[in-house]
Structure 1
């Protein structure tokens, strides 16, 4: 089969690019390079392999750029599927591919494919010392320098950063001498002065995170902490310029040192967009630090991160302006706050995922901040949804202590966002007094009662309702058993009434109605599985609603209702009675001995 592929689809350099996807499908689907054992291939297979290798080398030497690109792609596929061919040709192919990387005249597609293939080849030699001595060790230093040169091209930046990250992780000792250059390349991506795609920014974050490995085993933990501390200091330095008009509280602790980013313009009109973007990018990088696993134990600067988050959240539309400052700059800052708070929410989320229950000591602080944000962002859809998600995550990580301090105002906010408002549509008929009176109806007048009917409109957007319901489900799981009777009745009644409601809000599409219903059913499951002792259960109502929901048109709702009905059946099953709790004695028995 491999011989047929070579003769039928790879003979013409000018046409091979048209058949490349077909050739790759055949190789992968038929496993043409599958090697069931470690034995050498037989003579017949060895001859076919030689023919294949000769054809690939010819494609690599072709004058046609498209044919060279196809040859590189096939080399990569061959290495991924055949250990024998990789070992036999790794030295030759790596030398040829390095030559392509060193040629600045080659197209971007060839450079990109060469870098990806070389990264695979070098990474493959990690646990193979002999192959590493022949292939990786002689070429890595030159390869790293070529990558840094190609990093000046924005089209190749994501590929270059990915390759540098792989080299730092796999060969830290070789990458040690280029760590400073890699750092400068990553910081140039986080500067905020140019627009880069998301993939490039993600690769820059990964590369910056991996640089601690190049510092040596004894310095790795210290290097990691120093890097994240400098990123925190960089955000503070940007905030010093942004919050120049704000009357902030004096900070007692010394701020961490920052990275040497380029200075911004003195005029706030030009400086603010760059600063906001820089803060967002650096915060994303800090999130990558917090959510990326490390090979050693590292110390997370939780106090510095909490101080940074609080500093940003403490500036809001009601903040006081410093005396003798420009009002226009102050109002411009107010316009930037929503995007700043939104990016900080992502950083806050990463910190909660990273630290977990260690954040319990900040429960009261977080509850005060999040409640204030809920009231401030009442009319801002994206921000309010992000605050709800933060509350849900804090409930999961901080548990009962956080729920106890926030549940009352939180429930009030959620119930307000789940309300359905009935609006009356009024019909207005315009009259023209200057025209002659006529007893005939005009065509534009209302001729029926359709426009006079009442409309049901949801109080909040679909995004906010979904976030509120997810938070409510988490609250019921964490604190549902401790809610007061009135609060629990209000919550259960709202969920039941929304599910029973026949006429849906007119401002929601069918897809949005399904998404909200799915979260309502999840809240119902949470309520059923976390009952309150002093109140009648909503189990009978839930069972009927889940039974009816199985016949819903939406497959998503059917699956949720089947799960809910199974939970209800399990609770009510005659063979599974509830376990009787041992009640404590009303008064202790005291035995007095003389």
Structure 2
């Protein structure tokens, strides 16, 4: 279909004529996207993606993600351009949250769908996935937006199994991130969605060890979660007993009980994910207490 008669040409002339128009008309434009796109349309989307205006970048990245969903060929053709525009956004401190969300969704889709293309893997994925994962890790650790942190953790959970060897250097940092979220800290509100997301990420981290090392990492992860589980359970079971010497006199049951219940809940989520882990792992696992903890999800 030629550009002169393509229906998207009308949208290009009227709804995407300026950056402000693109932002205002984005919800309407996305409804009418189709698998076929004229060359002038792609050119305009690329100009939006590289725009200096954050709103226009958000619109361009959102439309680019929809185009990638419709056409694998167009995605592969423009992947280098889109990745090159989206990845640097994470290093800008003042970048708006909606733009970072759109960039995350676009990048995670590109890196996930094109994994079976060797040329794409060599030229685009291998150099950029570690940078993207590091950026997501920083977001998950420090960003004030809860929704963006949750999206970053979920994205890492999808990327790690696909590019396990590329995440080997990030294993320690990601593991610490997950354990902090699962373990909960006194004085911080518990977020069950973030805890579940961190547990899911924690359960796939053993894959970074490869065929040989994943077994050791899986066992180490289970041991760490069981230590947290036992400590939380012990604190709850001894709450109403006479004070023991090893217990702190400053420990307030009004704080320690909810705190340890939250820690136990997080450990349950993590242990459930590890027991469902799909990679080869050691033989029989004595999971009597693990199964008991798994059944305690109502806490």
Interval of TM-score (by shorter of Structure 1 and Structure 2): 0.7 to 0.9
- Corresponding residue for 1:199? 193
Q: Which structure 1 segments of 5+ residues have no match? A: 35-44, 249-262, 310-343, 351-381, 384-594
- Corresponding residue for 1:87? 76
Give the counterpart of 2:160 among 168, 175, 178: 168
Give the counterpart of 1:301 among 286, 290, 293: 286
Task: Tell me the secondary structure at the aligned position of residue 128 of structure 2.
Answer: helix
What's the offset of the Cα at 1:54?
A: 1.4
- Corresponding residue for 2:149? 157
Q: For the residues of structure 1 that align with 2:202 and 2:239, how far apart are their CA atoms?
A: 33
TM-score by length of structure 2 reads 0.85
Give the counterpart of 2:64 among 75, 79, 97: 75
- Ranked by relative contact order (alpha carbons within 8 Å, sequence separation 6 or more), the top structure is 2
What's the offset of the Cα at 1:247?
A: 6.7
Task: Tell me the secondary structure at the aligned position of residue 216 of structure 1.
Answer: helix
- Corresponding residue for 1:348? 295
- Corresponding residue for 1:178? 170
Q: Is the 8 A contact 1:14 1:64 kept in 2?
A: no
Query: Is 1:18 aligned to 2:24, yes or no?
Result: yes
Give the counterpart of 2:46 among 50, 57, 61: 57
Q: Is the 8 A contact 2:26 2:59 kept in 1?
A: yes
Q: For the residues of structure 2 that align with 1:232 and 1:134, how far apart are their CA atoms?
A: 41
Query: Is 1:268 aligned to 2:268, yes or no?
Result: no
Runs (4+) off by over 6 Å: none
Query: Is 1:8 aligned to 2:10, yes or no?
Result: no
Give the counterpart of 1:241 among 222, 228, 235: 235
Give the counterpart of 1:223 among 217, 220, 223: 217
Counterparts in 2 of 1:17-416, with a 5 A limit?
17-27=23-33, 32-33=34-35, 48=38, 50-151=39-140, 152-155=142-145, 156-193=148-185, 194-244=188-238, 266-290=251-275, 292-296=276-280, 298=282, 299-305=284-290, 309=292, 347-348=294-295
Per the alignment, do residues 131 and 12 of structure 1 end up closer, same or farther by CA in structure 2, a change over 3 Å counting? same
Task: Tell me the secondary structure at the aligned position of residue 126 of structure 1.
Answer: helix
What's the offset of the Cα at 1:5?
A: 2.0
TM-score by length of structure 1 reads 0.44
Q: For the residues of structure 2 that align with 1:269 and 1:286, how far apart are their CA atoms?
A: 26
Q: For the residues of structure 2 that align with 1:55 and 1:195, how far apart are their CA atoms?
A: 44
Q: CA RMSD in A?
A: 2.6
Counterparts in 2 of 1:514-529, with a 5 A limit?
none
Higher-Rg structure is: 1
Task: Tell me the secondary structure at the aligned position of residue 116 of structure 2.
Answer: coil
Number of equivalences: 282
What's the offset of the Cα at 1:15?
A: 2.5
What's the offset of the Cα at 1:61?
A: 2.8
